[in-house]
Structure 1
Amino acid sequence: MIAVASVLIQFNALTSCSSTNGNGDETTQTDSSAVNTPTPAKDSVSATTSPTTASVDTTTNTDPLKADTLQFAGTLPDTLLPNHRILAYYGNPHSTRMGALGEYPRKEMLRRLDQEAERWQKADPSKPIQKALHLVAISAQGTPQKDGKYRLRMSDKTIRKVMSWGAQHGAIVFLDIQVGLADLKGEMAFLEKYLKLPYVHLGIDPEFSMKTGARPGTRIGTYDASDVNDAIQFLSRIVKENNLPPKVLVVHRFTQRMVTNYQNIKLDPRVAVVMDMDGWGPPSLKIDSYRDYIVKEPVQYTGFKLFYKNDLKKVDYRSKHKVPHLMEPEEVLALDPKPLYIQYQ
């Protein structure tokens, strides 16, 4: 069993935690820091600050992707995985509590990312580190939007800003989708113009895929292999049509039912699929979840998420540590297989 917490951006504060019981059924409980909000479920610390109206989707008559600031600094490798280890900072610039990406001012955030990259490179010199920024570009919501889909698309301005941070710093960018009650294909189509750039990749979060019509945060959602296959085919088409290096697809997972029929996922040489262990808790519980939900149902590559705050909520009584402990790179690299995607929140 592993304690987990979740991401929902709203214009009100949102913070909660969730846990899974032994048979895989989800239960939720309100975190002490929640403020008149619905109870979300899992993978991250929610925002106590919220996106401003600038983060609401708008349209423009110009192509923002031609901006000079989006020219990537350095040289992109032809193939990221398995030749590199990706190290990502997750979050949203409109939230100081959704993750490291938005918690610190840009320069400090990038400096911290550089420091983490140095630690991981030292821990395993055999794999070059590729830094990344992982933006929640489409965020599940506890209340319906005008179209009733319970998700908020970030504006072009917000997405392009994070993309420019990455491009200027030699960091690839992931755009993450929390669909709410929307359709995954439609949300991927919204992001297609960005994904045509060679350094922009995709993440999808089953937790907020509410196929039953439930409000995001009241239950843990799910994707089937068919949904993952849709994402793979979508990215494969973009790679082929635009003559790009292979894309990386990150699929978050921390319960059995978040991804169903994994054996039916169909791999494509144009897309590297990462199943990312996304739960928070003491190290022994995170390791158990990695083995139970990632290793036992292998797809292609594996990922592991670390929470600067939530992983320190409980002492790990199954370890030598007497105080809450954030796993060190060496501890994560002791896992089999070694994760090739590392995410900090």
Structure 2
Amino acid sequence: MQKIVPLIVLMAACQPMTDQVQVNPVNIAQPAPHVVSDTLSGPPATADTTLFNKIQLLLVHNKPSVKWPVKTEYPLPGAILPYKRIVAYYGNLYSAGMGILGALPPDEMLQQLSAEVRKWEVADTSLPVQPALHYVAVTAQGKPGASGKYRLQMPDTEIDKVLQLAERINAIVFLDIQVGLSTLQEEIPMLEKYLRMPNVHLGIDPEYSMKNRQPPCTSIGTFDAEDVNYASSYLSKLVQTYGLPPKVLVVHRFTQGMVTNYKAIQLHPEVQIVMNMDGFGSPAKKLDSYKGWISNQPVQFTGFKLFYKNDVATGGHLMTPEEVLELYPRPVYIQYQ
């Protein structure tokens, strides 16, 4: 993998346009009250179907519906979800503007993440919390670069730094891919040596998948179920080949067009798919987006992103864990940017 370490990295120059929440006109149903139950233990060594079923009911406020919980196989041993809730910091070490992961000095960033973890532990005593660093390892670019693909692959030295930071707080790591004019088929294998590690998982971002061959940020990109299935199948084979615990695959979404043919997304027991609501705005807009494109179009598990700056700057506020826990279903992946 040939990588160039730039003096100045052009990070997702379209931040003002991207991540905007698309408002779904459907009214928000009032969620059931938060139910506090006895603390549940972490992932079992073998499949614990009773524990799994209990957690699945908690995530839907003990009110199962036709869509939720999603009917799926029981998790394989070592699975993180739904036995723990993942709380992640997102960003890139080169960029203070891309997310909280790169906005603070490392020590302060880890301390703040640990503080957020404690808030979630207090807000929902039913699930342990797993801290995570969600690092954008392939970033969309405003210029084509030498490859002509409008994306920049981060050097291994930067990924190694993130792994070292994660180790300090027993966090897991997500490597996120913004393909630009490239493809998942080209980018995911480049990261295989990291994805073979048991503590490293994957994120893919349709927003910057420019199938129209236009530069990133000129429009919102898209992935089809075929793209998600490629990523999931790739991870599934890694788990089988190397005897790894199940991988988590995070798919970002905040519009209908970002993920097409969601019903054709295939589930594998080796991979746990999280559809992550990735838009900023007021709580009402964020909840509408979550209901429209995450809750109403179920895949497997759900996630929710919180923006320290953009949620406030657009007239809203940073939603509290208690507010997020009112969602139906409750997200098991929380991301701060």
Alignment TM class, shorter chain as reference? 0.7 to 0.9
Indicate how the Cα distance of structure 1 residues 135 and 11 shifts in structure 2: closer, same or farther if over 3 A, else same.
Answer: closer
Shift of 1:109: 0.2
Q: Which moved more, 1:134-143 or 1:159-168?
A: 159-168
- Superposition deviation, residue 164 in structure 1: 1.3
Q: Which has the higher contact order (CA 8 A, sep 6+)?
A: 2
Q: Who is 2:326 aligned against?
A: 334
- Match of residue 311 from structure 1: 311
How far apart are 1:17 and its partner, in Å?
2.5
Relative distance call for 1:185 and 1:12 in structure 2 (3 A) is closer
- SS in structure 2 of the partner of residue 257 of structure 1: coil
Superposition deviation, residue 313 in structure 1: 1.7
Corresponding position of 1:343: 335
CA contact (8 A) 2:86 2:131 kept: yes
User: CA, structure 1 residues 330+160, in 2 after alignment: closer, same or farther (shift >3 Å)?
Assistant: same
Instruction: Please state whether the residue corresponding to 1:337 is helix, strand or coil.
Output: coil
Equivalent residue letter for 2:282: P
Is the contact between residue 17 and residue 217 of structure 2 (CA under 8 Å) also seen in structure 1? no
For residues 219-240 of structure 1, the C-alpha deviation after alignment (integer angstroms, 9 at most, x for no partner) is: 1000000000000000001111
Q: Which residue of structure 2 lines up, in the alignment, with residue 163 of structure 1?
A: 163
Residue 21 of structure 1 deviates from its aligned partner by 6.5
Counterpart AA for 2:147: D
Counterpart in the other structure of 1:288? 288
Looking at structure 1, the residues matched to 22 and 253 of structure 2 have their Cα atoms a distance apart, in angstroms, of 16
In structure 2, the residue matched to 1:27 is none
Amino acid at match of 1:301: F
2:311 is paired with a residue whose SS is: helix
> Hey, what's the Cα distance between the residues in 2 that align with 1:119 and 1:11?
30
Identical aligned pairs, as a percentage?
A: 56
Shift in alpha-carbon separation, 1:150–1:86, aligned structure 2, 3 A: same
Separation in structure 2 between the aligned mates of residue 149 and residue 97 of structure 1, nearest angstrom: 22
Alpha-carbon deviation of 1:22? Answer: 6.8
* TM-score, reference length from structure 2: 0.79
The aligned amino acid for 1:109 is: M
Alignment partners' CA distance in 1, 2:289 and 2:14:
25
The equivalent of 1:91 in structure 2 is 91
Q: Matched residues in 2 for 1:286 and 1:220: separation? A: 17
Partner of 2:110: 110
Equivalent residue, structure 1, for 2:35: none
Q: Give, as a single letter, the amino acid of the residue that structure 2 aligns with 1:331.
A: E
Q: Distance in 2 between matches of 1:91 and 1:21?
A: 22
Distance 1:114 1:185, change over 3 A: same
Superposed displacement of residue 185, structure 1: 1.1
Aligned AA (2:269): P
The amino acid across from 2:181 in the alignment is: L
SS at match of 1:256: coil
Aligned partners of 1:185 and 1:94: how far apart in 2? 25
Structure-2 residue corresponding to 1:253: 253
Partner amino acid, structure 2, of 1:337:
P
SS at match of 1:220: coil
Q: For the Cα contact (< 8 Å) 2:91–2:101, is it kept in 1?
A: yes
Question: Which is further off, 131-140 or 324-333?
Answer: 324-333
Cα pair distance change 1:179/1:97, threshold 3 Å: same
Change in CA separation of 1:291 and 1:160 when aligned onto 2, cut-off 3 Å: same
What is the aligned partner in structure 1 of residue 194 from structure 2? Answer: 194
| TM-score, scaled to structure 1 | 0.78
Deviations 1:183-235 (A, max 9, x none): 11110001110000000000000000001101100010000000000000000
User: In structure 1, what is the equivalent of residue 137 of structure 2?
Assistant: 137
Flag the 1:240–1:274 CA change in 2: closer, same or farther, 3 A.
Answer: same
What letter corresponds to residue 325 of structure 2 in structure 1? L
Mark the CA change 1:289 to 1:95 in structure 2 (over 3 Å): closer, same or farther: same
User: How many angstroms apart in 1 are the aligned matches of 2:119 and 2:22?
Assistant: 35
Encode CA deviations 1:49-91: one digit per residue, 9 max, x unaligned: xxxxxxxxxxxxxxxxxxxxxxxxxxxx811001000000000
Matched residue of 1:249: which SS?
Answer: strand
Counterpart-to-counterpart distance in 2, 1:215 and 1:122:
43
- Pairing 1:207-218 to 2, within 5 Å after superposition: 207-218=207-218
- The 3-state SS of whatever aligns with 1:137 is strand
Cα 1:150–1:294, aligned 2, differ >3 Å: closer, same or farther?
Answer: same
Structure 2 match to 1:123: 123
How far is 1:267 from its partner?
A: 0.1
Q: Deviation at 1:314?
A: 3.3
Q: Does 1:223 align with 2:223?
A: yes
How has the CA–CA distance of structure 1 residues 273 and 22 changed in structure 2, closer, same or farther, with 3 Å as cutoff? closer
Which of these residues, 301, 309, 325, is aligned with residue 317 of structure 2? 325
C-alpha distance in 1, partners of 2:321/2:23?
29
Deviation, 1:168, is 2.7
The one-letter code matched in structure 2 to 1:184 is: L
Cα deviation, 1:215-272, whole Å, max 9, x if unaligned, reads 1000100000000000000000111111000000000000000000000001000000
Tell me by how many angstroms 1:163 deviates. Answer: 1.1
